[in-house]
Amino acid sequence: MSRLLPLVAKAATSRRGGRTLVGPVDLRIDGPGITVLIGPNGAGKTSLLNLLHGTARLSGGRIDWACPIDEARHAQAFVFQRPVMLRRSVVDNIAYPLRIRGVPRREALSRAETAAAQVGLAGMLNRDAPRLSGGEQQKLALARALIIAPDVLFLDEPCASLDGRAMREIEQILIQARASGRRLILSTHDMGQARRLGDDVLFLLRGRLHDSGPAAEFFARPRTSRARAFLQGDIVE
């Protein structure tokens, strides 16, 4: 059972420079599964992920976890659309979250080797991480996030710009993470991916939560005309 969930947002709002980026948003996320966050470009998907994760300032409303915020910070992870690669080897990149948590180097490297194998990087442990391909870097980023066994994993378009093979491999890693009992909250512009992965859907428009629900119901019977138009490929503003 997750120590973090449920995650509850009440009128959560993020503003910058006098402009509202997202909100007010009300939502509740609980239990294992994959929440997919969709919407047109500029809808506020990344801003909402950052707000929930705590890397964006909460300008109004509340975001509550089922545990104290300091504990929640240590039990979640974030994978960016363009993963950050430290200028060190693959295995050292993956081990980094453990090292900053005080895990001895030998143990951290051993666990990093196991994590690398789980995402298909077993033969690349000593390669320079910045020299990896885009798909390989995203696998590394996932291994680095998952090595701390987070209860909640945020992902901002983790398959953007990847080819079909790399996308399939990344999706399989995400499915395995869900099967282990984690909650994944990811944004995607790919409706095929949203249908393949999503257990529930959040549809954002102009920074507001415009529609939501279990994925099967949302894709079969979206409740709003704008959600229907978006799924049909129409331009929605």
Q: Identify whether the C-beta of residue 159 lies closer than 8 Å to the C-beta of residue 170.
A: yes
* pLDDT value of residue 103: 95
- CATH no. for residue 75? 3.40.50.300
pTM: 0.93
pLDDT by residue (tens digit) across 96-128? 999 999 999 999 999 999 999 988 899 999 999
Bridging pattern class, strands 19-29 and 152-156: unpaired
Q: Is the pLDDT of residue 38 over 90?
A: yes
3-state secondary structure of 117: helix
In a domain, 50, yes or no: yes
In a domain, 89, yes or no: no
Exposure of 141 by Cβ count < 10 A (0-12 exposed, 13-18 middle, 19+ buried)? Answer: buried
The neighbouring-strand residues paired with 209 are 204
In a domain, 196, yes or no: yes
In a domain, 178, yes or no: yes
Helix (H) or strand (E) holding 122: none
Q: Identify whether the C-beta of residue 79 lies closer than 8 Å to the C-beta of residue 142.
A: yes
In a domain, 114, yes or no: no
In a domain, 28, yes or no: yes
The rounded percent of the chain whose pLDDT value lies above 70 is: 99
pLDDT band at 200 (very low <50, low <70, confident <90, very high): very high
As a whole number of angstroms, the distance between CA 37 and CA 155 comes to: 10
In a domain, 13, yes or no: yes
Query: What range defines the domain where residue 78 resides?
Result: 7-84+151-231
Number of domains in the chain: 1
In a domain, 143, yes or no: no
